[in-house]
Amino acid sequence: LTSGPVWATTLAHVGQNWGIWTILTEIPTYFNKALNFNLSKGGFLTGMPFLLMWIVSFPLSYTADRLIIKGYTSVTASRKIWNSVAHWGGAAALLGFAFSGNNTTIAVVLYTITIVTNCCVYMGFNVNHLDLSPNFARILMGITNGTANITSIIAPLFVGQVIDDERNIVQWRIVFICSALAFFLANLAFMTLGSGELQAWNDPNFPLSLRSDSSNNNEADCAKGAV
């Protein structure tokens, strides 16, 4: 609870779930009701962003690793750069999406950009659990994912409170601006507190070693006093 990097990863995960689950659950309704565009009839357009996301994730993951291996970026810098592409890039696309009006073409393009850039979270906060603590990465993932899933529940409920007319683009604009804000604040926290360095508490005996060091220091002080 006192680790800044863990808080950074948790907040990044919370913002990720708010933003991406709002998109995944509400975009079909937005296209269908507000833009009069039935995504279910355009199966290619529905699946294309996720297909592109899958394709792009391979070369980007390779690039991220090579930049670290070659020493062009540190692990910390790499995680923050790629997470910024995902969250701040996604936030910018969502803002454009929010103000695209009735232009379906622009809306589809910006929606696609939001989904595709989001693959960069896998080179950002998502892999950061292993950076911080390989020994406790599964526990960290449980903490961050469990916390973030609360927002996965809250976000659609929030949309239900904001939207009382599914054809009202202005009301939808509020929803997308809030999602963009979630992405922005999540990455701001990650940029401020995040780290790619192995944490001292990764050692399973870390508390014991602290007590041991403290005992040794006390014994040394006593010995000096006796002399």
| Per-residue pLDDT, 48 | 87
**Least trusted range by pLDDT, from 77-91, 167-181, 196-210:** 196-210
pLDDT band at 136 (very low <50, low <70, confident <90, very high): very high
pLDDT value, residue 104: 86
Which two structure tokens, joined as six digits, stand for 8?
């950074």
Between the ranges 81-90, 193-202, 214-223, where is the mean pLDDT highest? 81-90
- What's the pTM value of the predicted model, to 2 decimals? 0.85
Q: Can you list the domains of the chain with their CATH numbers?
A: 4-199 (1.20.1250.20)
* CA gap 11, 19 in Å, rounded: 12
- pLDDT at residue 217, as a whole number: 45
Q: CA-CA distance, 219 to 65, in Å (whole number)?
A: 46
84 contacts: CB under 8 Å, gap ≥ 6 = 124, 187, 191
pLDDT at 183 over 60: yes
Is the per-residue pLDDT at 187 higher than 60?
yes
Contacts of 42 (CB under 8 A, 6+ apart): none
Q: What is the reported pLDDT for 86? A: 96
pLDDT at 220 over 50: no
What is the mean pLDDT of the segment spanning 55-63?
Answer: 96
Each residue of 74-97: pLDDT tens digit?
Answer: 999 999 999 999 999 999 999 998
pLDDT band, very low/low/confident/very high, at 204 (cuts 50, 70, 90): confident
Assign 43 a pLDDT band (cuts: 50, 70, 90). Answer: low
pLDDT at 2: 80
Distance CA 165, CA 173 (A): 12
pLDDT band for 159, please (50, 70, 90 cuts): very high
The amino acid at residue 138 is R
